[in-house]
Structure 1
Amino acid sequence: MLVRLIYCSRAVPAVDAEEMHAILKTARTHNPKHGITGVLCFSDGFFIQVLEGGRVAVNRLYQKIVVDGRHADVTLLGYEEIGERRFAGWSMGQANMARLNPALLLKYSEKASLDPYALSAPAMTALFEELVATAAIMCGT
């Protein structure tokens, strides 16, 4: 059974571009072995991630994420059983927030700035889908 999990968190101050590269490298090595796909966004000190895969694999990964010291305030935004993956092409894609049009944020949010704690899981999923559609997801596999 496939599931989709969406969470957000606040990065600790020590997270920089080098640390993001390490996170993505680990995900791209680990995730294919466990059938996990998804997208990671890091912007304005927030992590937002969509994970898709088997229930057991996604749950195990999320348990590790929750205790990872590189972030705090980990909040589950959504968890659902799915019939198919929306982000199957990425062992872990990275959202390029520099390419994000502020009008797109206004489509799903109260403000033109990203506050994942204020978005619903369906809105966050739709935002990620639009990022995929506009080629704002990079470093896919």
Structure 2
Amino acid sequence: MSYPELRALVAHARAYNAAHDITGILFYGEGHFAQVLEGEQEEVERLFGRIQRDARHHDVTVVTRVARPRRTYPQWGMAAHRLAEAQFAELVRHLPEGADARPLKARLETFVIESQRL
């Protein structure tokens, strides 16, 4: 995906999420995406269905699904960060619940700090 295409996708995601009260973070690395979605279950499920049906996506997999009492990223409509290939591989190892005892926000913090914001 070219950088302009990626920026356009992020802009679209931010607009959609704002209209549907969805927050979270999107990571992109060498043709792969990892995303945390937060919001009302019905809205998140609707968005996830759209993602699964999008022809640009292949092998869409849910790594973990957890109900939390409050959002981890309430201030972000959709934060987006670009990672190098090695960073992305490391990120994927940190995503599943139980992979690390730290809360999700703490597990992702390093990747947010050490990546290019989109």
TM-score (normalised: structure 2) = 0.78
1:100-111 pair list within 5 angstroms: none
Aligned residues: 113
State percent identity of aligned pairs.
Answer: 31
Alpha-carbon offset, residue 119 of structure 1? 5.3
Matched, 1:121 2:100: no
Matched, 1:53 2:28: no
**CA displacement, residues 13-65 of structure 1 (integer Å, 9 cap, x when unaligned):** xx221211111111111111111001111102211011000000000000000
1:28 is matched with 14
1:7-46 pair list within 5 angstroms: 15-46=1-32
More strand by share: 1
2:111 is matched with 131
Give, as a single letter, the amino acid of the residue that structure 1 aligns with 2:8: A
Give distance in 1, aligned partners of 2:96 and 2:32: 16
2:77 is matched with 91
TM-score (normalised: structure 1) = 0.67
